[in-house]
């Protein structure tokens, strides 16, 4: 999605952040006692069809399984793999377009594990509406390899922004309210968070995403919300930024505070992040091959992982 100058800029930013940021450094005291250790690579993904891993979500059905998709230019399909990088399955998403898939999320909806795919990329700001696809997560056999299948969306959400067209590469769903949050990818440290309520019923008309906060961050490339709905991780090409809220707070309040800065491992054009099944450990991939799966672990203060 980017030219060579973008890669150079991203690499420079990552290198700078790797030097100046300590793991889990905070701009303001965190309300959560989580201590992140140094990130590291777990494996490289074996499936050569994963050429630009742009979104990442952990399975809510079985531990150690992840889902990803490619950036623009690919078919409407998802890939499943494990923490060893082994290819488990490829699923085509029927009745769906892949104009510019940029992110995805996994969560529980009415006791069903679902995946939300965000077709929201718009570098040239030409799209009047964007689309979110919701599918039931396919149930995989952890011992299978190279399986194929087809899955149909249970819900297709078309939406527009209240104030015009925006490029977006980050989507997150609050599992407690089902509200969908989209973060624009913008310069000048001014990325806008938009909120889209979960639709009560399918709508022929596009829904409207409303602005709820402005984040003073570098261009945002991915996001996720923890399963308890209390932490949001927002990724840039360098560090990630974690926002925390109390159970009785709204996200607009949390996004108004300074975030915690979390150091990310070195990677080239990293545009995906998700919380693991424990709701704390962070996982990332990269859009450059060989595609790595990286982990930012949770450690006890004073342990060797600090």
CA distance 15 to 9: 10
CA distance 150 to 99: 19
Residue-wise pLDDT for 82-109, tens only, equals 999 999 999 999 999 999 999 999 999 9
**What is the structure's pLDDT at 141?**
86
pLDDT < 50: residue spans in the chain: 2-31
**What is the structure's pLDDT at 187?**
87
What's the maximum distance between 2 C-alpha atoms anywhere in the chain? 55
299: left (phi over 0), alpha (psi -120 to 50) or beta: beta
**What is the structure's pLDDT at 285?**
98
**Site of tokens 């990310």:** 264
Write down all domains in the chain, each with its CATH number in brackets.
Answer: 4-296 (2.120.10)
**Contact (Cβ atoms closer than 8 angstroms) between residue 217 and residue 241:** yes
In DSSP terms, 115 is beta-bridged to 106, 135
**What is the structure's pLDDT at 305?**
54
The reported pTM is: 0.89
Sequence length of the chain is 306
């Amino acid at each position: 999605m980017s030219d060579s100058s973008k890669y150079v800029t991203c690499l420079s930013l990552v290198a700078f952040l790797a030097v100046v940021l300590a793991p889990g450094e905070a701009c303001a005291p965190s309300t959560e006692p989580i201590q992140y250790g140094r990130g590291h690579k777990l494996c490289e993904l074996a499936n050569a069809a994963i050429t630009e891993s742009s979104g990442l979500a952990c399975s809510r059905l079985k531990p150690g399984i992840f889902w990803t998709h490619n950036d623009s230019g690919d078919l409407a399909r998802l890939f499943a793999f494990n923490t060893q990088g082994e290819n488990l399955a490829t699923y085509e998403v029927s009745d769906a377009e892949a104009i510019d898939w940029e992110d995805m999320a996994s969560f529980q909806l009415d006791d069903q594990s679902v995946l939300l795919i965000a077709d929201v990329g718009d570098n040239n700001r030409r799209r009047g509406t964007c689309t979110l696809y919701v599918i039931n997560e396919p149930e995989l056999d952890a011992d299978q390899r190279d399986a194929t299948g087809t899955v149909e969306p249970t819900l297709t959400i078309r939406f527009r922004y209240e104030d015009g067209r925006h490029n977006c590469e980050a989507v997150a769903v609050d599992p407690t309210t089902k509200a969908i949050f989209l973060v624009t990818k913008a310069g000048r440290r001014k990325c806008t968070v938009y909120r889209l309520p979960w639709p009560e019923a399918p709508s022929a008309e596009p829904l409207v995403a409303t602005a709820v906060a402005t984040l003073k961050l570098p261009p945002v490339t991915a996001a996720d919300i923890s399963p308890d709905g209390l932490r949001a991780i927002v990724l840039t090409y360098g560090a990630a930024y974690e926002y925390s809220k109390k159970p009785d707070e709204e996200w607009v309040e949390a996004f108004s505070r300074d975030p915690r800065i979390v150091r990310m491992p070195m990677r080239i054009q990293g545009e995906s992040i998700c919380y693991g099944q424990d709701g704390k450990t962070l996982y990332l991939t990269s859009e450059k091959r060989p595609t790595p799966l990286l982990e930012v672990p949770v450690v006890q203060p004073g342990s060797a992982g600090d």
